[in-house]
């Protein structure tokens, strides 16, 4: 069965699941295996109704639409509403299987569950499918997952150049999907984690760092052999890259990585749904902390040279101008992503014009350009925020304006969809549609452009850098959120070789641009245009005979 890391600090499992396994063992698991149906390309597993090909219906209301669940005790089918009521009439009948996703669900906890034994059950079904197709399975799943398929063309973070080898152009197995496009199993409300991992797995400079030995697992194990450190988040991230880019198409379970992340972020260690953006920041912080300690990668000027800062870090400029005398104080702050408020004016910036828009259903629409305009727009600070002016020698009313001094290789934009009011003591989700471009130029939001507009071209040296040269970006990933604040689901859209793919935990499907644009974007990932073109041109090449 599944081998657990003895040093993992994972939360206690669901008590109802523990009681069930203690009383019933794995008999129901074994019987469920006969009902598992796996697609020919092993992209999806579901549960079929025994002894019939009919669509499963709820035994109470005869409903067949929406999610359906199978009780592990009495084998009855029920819709979600009657699944939640089932344990009240049948004591002990708390555990179900989501027949569409083949995942465990607790009707008393109202939550998905992750059980390594059940996960192994599903994976063994994939193995049997591969054996029936004539595949050789002499190696264990774990052995196959740790095989590394390195790219011969990669981005060198030290020289900011691509290294291209003509000897081997493509290491993919014969498949219609690009290498690295692999589903991630939900480990119990971990769609927030899977969605961010999918984006990071395909961020060109970040991806190439791990696939080309940026983190040496052997050296890391030697360094930590005589210490109390039992888990290494970088090693577990390295293992995910090795597994995803190994050519294996079966959905992968990043359980070991989840345990390591729990150790770093103990306050978020639970099977409850978490915020994808909060996980993203926590993960980058953990990588920075680990790599900074192991390599001492900070230069003398204080600039960190870890992979997180080399790929995602930029520099924000904040100008605070005294409204009495005009004196301006400037500060600079590093960032790994930019959080944007939705523009309340519902305006569309296109070719210099502001056009008011609405969707057909009457709901308002924002644009990414409008959000960026709002982010860099001068803001008058309130009377309770008066700042001390060095020139006036007293507190004065001030104007604050943000701009971008330095752009990163990978630009991460976070749309603030969740509002929290401390006055009203309530939270809500903003479902407003946001229109975002697939490629755009960040020049209007750079400090040089903002200052030129402010001083009307009367100054020429703005103390900038090379951001103006590398200001064009192309999209490669969008993390979306559907549902409500209390009950929602994260999905990632990936753009590989001009084709969009929808990554919904373990399932990967091709979609068109319309599906991406219609989604409720929560995090948008762009990469510098030159890197995007290189990554897609050198790595993802067509294969003869691919369907």
Which distant-in-sequence residues (6+ apart) come within 8 Å of 106 by Cβ? 14, 16, 17, 94, 95, 96, 112, 113
Q: Is 309 a catalytic residue?
A: no
Residue 494's DSSP bridge partners are: 477, 501
In contact, 422 and 358? CB cutoff 8 Å: no
- Would you give the DSSP letter of residue 56? P
Marked catalytic residue, from 16, 24, 435, 489? 489
| Neighbour tally for 220: CB within 10 Å | 17
468-to-14, 162, 407, 544 alpha-carbon distances in Å? 53, 21, 9, 40
Q: Is 489 a catalytic residue?
A: yes
> Would you put residue 296 in left (φ > 0), alpha (ψ -120 to 50) or beta?
left
∠ CA 207-243-501, nearest 5°, is 65
H helical segments located in 212-275: 217-223, 233-244, 255-264
Residue entry with tokens 């054996």: 131
In contact, 497 and 388? CB cutoff 8 Å: no
116-to-1, 3, 12, 265, 270 alpha-carbon distances in Å? 8, 8, 14, 22, 16
Q: How far apart are CA 408 and CA 204, in angstroms?
A: 13
Q: How far apart are CA 354 and CA 28, in angstroms?
A: 61
Taking each helix axis as running N to C, give the angle between helix 233-244 and helix 191-201, from 0 to 180 degrees, rounded to the nearest 10. Answer: 70
| Neighbour tally for 310: CB within 10 Å | 20
- E strand or H helix at 453, and its extent? helix 447-455
Marked catalytic residue, from 14, 58, 106, 191? 191
Residue 384 has phi, psi (to 5 degrees) of -85, 0
Radius of gyration, CA atoms only, the chain: 26
Buried b (16+ CB within 10 A) or exposed e, 40-49: eebbbbbbeb
Residue 379's DSSP bridge partners are: 400
> What sign does the dihedral 507-511-525-151 (CA atoms) show?
positive
Strands, DSSP E only, in 281-363? 314-322, 328-335, 338-340, 347-350, 353-356
Question: Which tokens hold the place of 547?
Answer: 């369907």
Q: Active-site residues: which are they?
A: 191, 489
């Amino acid at each position: 069965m599944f081998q657990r890391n003895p040093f993992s600090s994972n939360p206690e499992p669901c008590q109802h699941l523990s009681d069930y396994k203690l009383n019933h063992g794995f008999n129901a698991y074994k019987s469920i295996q006969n009902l598992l149906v796996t697609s020919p390309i092993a992209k999806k597993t579901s549960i079929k109704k025994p002894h019939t090909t009919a669509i499963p219906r709820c035994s109470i209301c005869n409903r067949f639409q929406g999610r359906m669940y199978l009780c592990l005790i009495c084998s009855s089918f029920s819709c979600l509403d009657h699944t939640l009521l089932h344990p009240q009439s049948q004591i002990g009948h708390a555990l179900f299987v989501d027949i569409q996703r083949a995942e465990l669900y607790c009707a008393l906890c109202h939550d998905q569950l992750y059980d390594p034994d059940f996960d192994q059950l599903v994976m063994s079904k994939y193995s049997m499918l591969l054996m029936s197709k004539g595949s050789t399975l002499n190696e264990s799943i774990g052995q196959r997952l740790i095989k590394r398929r390195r790219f011969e063309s990669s981005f060198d973070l030290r020289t900011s150049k691509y290294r291209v080898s003509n000897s081997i152009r493509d290491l993919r197995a014969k498949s219609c999907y690009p290498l690295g496009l692999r589903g991630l199993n939900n480990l119990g409300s971990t769609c927030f984690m899977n969605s961010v991992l999918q984006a990071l797995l395909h961020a060109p400079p970040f991806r190439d760092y791990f696939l080309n030995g940026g983190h040496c697992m052997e050296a890391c194990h030697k360094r930590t052999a005589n210490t109390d450190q039992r888990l290494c988040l970088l090693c577990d991230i390295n293992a995910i890259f090795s597994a995803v880019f190994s050519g294996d198409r079966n959905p992968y379970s990043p359980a070991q990585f989840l345990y390591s992340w729990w150790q770093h972020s103990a306050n978020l260690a639970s099977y409850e749904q978490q915020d994808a953006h909060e996980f993203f920041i926590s993960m980058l912080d953990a990588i920075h902390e680990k790599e900074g300690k192991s390599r001492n990668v900070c230069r003398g000027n204080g600039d960190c040279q870890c992979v997180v800062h080399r790929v995602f870090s930029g520099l924000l400029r904040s100008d605070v101008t005294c409204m009495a005398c005009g004196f301006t104080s400037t500060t600079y702050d590093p960032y790994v992503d930019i959080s944007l408020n939705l523009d309340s004016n519902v305006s569309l910036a296109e070719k210099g014009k502001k056009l008011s828009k609405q969707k057909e259903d009457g709901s308002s629409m924002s644009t990414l350009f409008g959000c960026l305009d709002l982010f860099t727009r001068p803001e008058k600070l309130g009377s309770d925020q008066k700042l001390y002016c060095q020139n006036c020698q007293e507190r004065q009313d001030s104007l604050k304006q943000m701009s971008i001094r330095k752009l990163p290789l990978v630009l991460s934009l976070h749309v603030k969809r969740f509002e929290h009011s401390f006055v009203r003591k309530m939270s809500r989700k903003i479902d407003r549609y946001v229109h975002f471009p697939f490629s755009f130029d960040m020049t209007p939001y750079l400090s040089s452009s903002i200052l030129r507009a402010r001083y009307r071209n009367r100054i020429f040296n703005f103390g900038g850098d090379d951001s103006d040269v590398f200001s064009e970006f192309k999209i490669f990933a969008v993390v979306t959120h559907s549902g409500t604040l209390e009950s929602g689901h994260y999905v990632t859209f990936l753009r590989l070789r001009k084709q969009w793919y929808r990554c919904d935990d373990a399932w990967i499907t091709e979609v068109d641009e319309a599906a991406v644009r219609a989604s409720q974007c929560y995090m948008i990932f762009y990469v510098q245009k030159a890197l995007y073109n290189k990554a897609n041109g050198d790595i993802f090449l067509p294969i003869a005979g691919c369907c």
